[in-house]
């Protein structure tokens, strides 16, 4: 495992992304001075997205039949560190859907139901 830059990654690499997220907590006012919490997301690097605001897209799971990925979208400016766990070539034997990664990735859309 080694620390890398976003530009060093290719689609299909297995990564750990350490980033800052705003926390939601109830506390006294003076305890809200540092609202950040540190988060680690790990999964398959699927690329970047966004125009005005850029996001790193990390695949968490995939539906084999349709090659649809569930993913985390992490704002690039909040990323502290990216650790490369395994290159794409090493994963191909286990996760065959990586072969289908092209410029556009099919992400599952979640819809809210109104009860």
Q: What is the pTM of this model?
A: 0.77
Percentage of residues of the chain with pLDDT beyond 90: 43
Q: 103: which DSSP letter?
A: S
What's the gap between Cα 19 and its chain centre?
A: 10
Q: Identify the pLDDT of residue 17.
A: 97
Residue 111 has pLDDT above 70, yes or no: no
- Three-state secondary structure call for residue 22: strand
Average pLDDT, the chain: 83
pLDDT band, very low/low/confident/very high, at 36 (cuts 50, 70, 90): confident
Q: Identify the pLDDT of residue 24.
A: 65
Residue-wise pLDDT for 77-93, tens only, equals 999 999 999 999 888 88
């Amino acid at each position: 495992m080694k620390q890398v830059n976003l530009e060093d990654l290719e689609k299909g690499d297995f990564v750990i992304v350490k980033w800052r997220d705003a926390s939601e907590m109830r506390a006294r006012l003076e305890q809200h001075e540092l609202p950040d919490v540190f988060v680690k997301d790990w999964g398959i690097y699927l690329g970047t997205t966004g125009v005005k605001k850029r996001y790193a897209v990390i695949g968490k799971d995939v539906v084999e039949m349709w090659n649809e990925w569930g993913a985390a979208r992490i704002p690039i400016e909040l990323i502290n560190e990216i650790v490369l766990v395994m290159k794409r070539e090493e994963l191909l034997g286990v996760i065959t859907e990586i072969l289908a990664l092209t410029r556009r990735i099919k992400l599952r859309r979640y819809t809210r139901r109104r009860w």
